[in-house]
């Protein structure tokens, strides 16, 4: 396989030497960009946009046309997997994603099956292939999925939740049922990510957005153990190239060592973690991705650059750092401030390496 002309992101994930710190942003293709809003309007709805490979490719490339980002990430949604399981995903105006048939009854849970990604999720794989062709090896493409536990939160709650009461009641009352859902989700996510790799994804990321709401014991049993099985089941190489994996648990700062031990290549950090301490804790076991507070992007361009520089300085010299936000970019972010962020990371990390040399 021809490697990307800019493969800095992939080399950083593998802790190989890089000339600067690469940067990409979670939700970098999103509502903060006017061009994205126009494409979404043409699509008709968010899911119509996701299900149209041509338009998904269009919005994936939009932030790369504006900013000197070091990676593209597939435009899709983590809930495509439970939607393919027949739970009836829809988006209520002003309320976010919901499911028509949340998993509440034991018979429905026992009947749950992992979907064939080449069938019900063909539109995602077609988008991956089209994006790779359109990128023409300029930068790498990231594929992704939600974690088994995060998917289960939506599948059981029926949508977003403030207290996760329904899934946590199942966790403590009927752990056997929750484990069954997580088993199915693990097979589904593993198959889905491997299909994305086969279709052209050059790195993959597992978003454990809600793992941080669990107790210490529950996190290890109901989230981390299943992500470890996914990482073990991922294709490590495709077409002669190494395919790195990233695991990100929002609110997972207390478990960095345990996450780093599951076999992934990089651990994502949210903004509550000190990146210098994180680097000390995980040593050379994994790369680190993160971890600027998304709200910092509402400051002046100068202060955005200062905050980005501070994080680069805190990580210190050497490779193994992929700069990102600690969670997804806000839809209200001034687009010009992203330019300040990207430029500051690239410029300061180059200077830091030159000084260290």
Is 51 annotated in the active site? Answer: no
Evaluate if residue 96 carries a pLDDT over 90.
no
Is 77 annotated in the active site? Answer: yes
**Which two tokens mark 297?**
């992007």
HSE on the CB side for 333, CA within 13 Å? 28
Among residues 77, 116, 274, 306, the one annotated as catalytic is: 77
Is 104 annotated in the active site? Answer: no
Q: What is the mean pLDDT of residues 112-141?
A: 97
Q: pLDDT digit string (tens) for 279-332?
A: 999 999 999 999 999 999 999 999 999 999 999 999 999 899 999 999 999 999
CB 40 within 8 Å of CB 167: no
Among residues 32, 67, 154, 226, the one annotated as catalytic is: 154
Cα separation of 190 and 230, whole Å?
5
User: pTM above the 0.95 mark?
Assistant: yes
CA-only gyration radius of the chain, Å: 19
DSSP string over 128-172: HHHHHHHHTTSS-EEEEEE-HHHHHHHHHHSB--SS-HHHHHHHH
Contacts of 174 (CB under 8 A, 6+ apart): none
Is 40 annotated in the active site? Answer: yes
Among residues 40, 187, 310, 350, the one annotated as catalytic is: 40
Rounded to the nearest 10°, the torsion over CA 7, 326, 247, 50 is -80
What was the pLDDT predicted at 1?
Answer: 56
Q: Where are the domains of the chain?
A: 23-270
Is 172 annotated in the active site? Answer: no
What was the pLDDT predicted at 91?
Answer: 82
When the pLDDT of each residue in the chain is averaged and rounded to a whole number, the result is 96
Architecture of the 23-270 domain: Alpha-Beta Barrel (3.20)
What was the pLDDT predicted at 2?
Answer: 72
Among residues 11, 15, 27, 51, the one annotated as catalytic is: 27
């Amino acid at each position: 396989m021809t490697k990307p002309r800019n493969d800095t992101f992939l080399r950083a994930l593998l802790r190989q030497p890089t000339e600067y710190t690469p940067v990409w942003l979670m939700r970098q293709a999103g509502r903060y960009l006017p061009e994205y809003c126009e494409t979404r309007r043409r699509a008709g709805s968010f899911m119509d946009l996701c299900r149209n490979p041509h338009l998904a490719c269009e919005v994936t490339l939009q932030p790369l046309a504006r900013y000197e980002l070091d990676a593209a990430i597939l435009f899709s949604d983590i809930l495509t997997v439970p939607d393919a399981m027949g739970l009836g995903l829809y988006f209520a105006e002003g309320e976010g994603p919901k499911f028509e048939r949340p998993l509440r009854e034991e018979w429905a849970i026992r009947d749950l099956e992992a979907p064939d990604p080449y069938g019900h999720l063909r539109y995602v794989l077609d988008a991956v292939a089209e994006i790779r062709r359109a990128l023409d090896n300029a930068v790498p493409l990231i594929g992704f999925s939600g974690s088994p536990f995060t998917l289960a939160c939506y599948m059981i709650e029926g949508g977003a939740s403030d207290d996760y009461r329904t899934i946590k009641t199942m966790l403590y009352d009927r752990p056997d049922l929750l484990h069954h859902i997580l088993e199915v989700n693990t097979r589904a996510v593993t198959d889905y990510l491997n299909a994305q790799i086969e279709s052209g994804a050059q790195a993959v990321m597992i978003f454990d957005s809600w793992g941080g709401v669990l107790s210490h014991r529950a996190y290890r049993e109901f989230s981390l153990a299943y992500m470890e099985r996914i990482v073990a089941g991922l294709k490590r190489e495709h077409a002669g190239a190494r395919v790195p994996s990233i695991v990100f648990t929002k609110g997972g700062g207390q478990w960095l060592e345990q996450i780093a031990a599951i076999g992934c290549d990089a651990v994502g950090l949210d903004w509550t973690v000190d990146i210098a301490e994180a680097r000390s804790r995980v040593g050379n076991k994994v790369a680190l991705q993160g971890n600027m507070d998304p709200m910092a992007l509402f400051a002046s361009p100068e202060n955005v650059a200062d905050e980005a520089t501070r994080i680069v300085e805190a990580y210190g010299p050497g490779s193994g750092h992929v700069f990102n936000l600690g969670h997804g970019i806000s839809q209200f972010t001034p687009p010009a401030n992203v330019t300040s962020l990207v430029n500051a990371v690239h410029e300061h990390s180059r200077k830091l390496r030159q000084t260290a040399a």
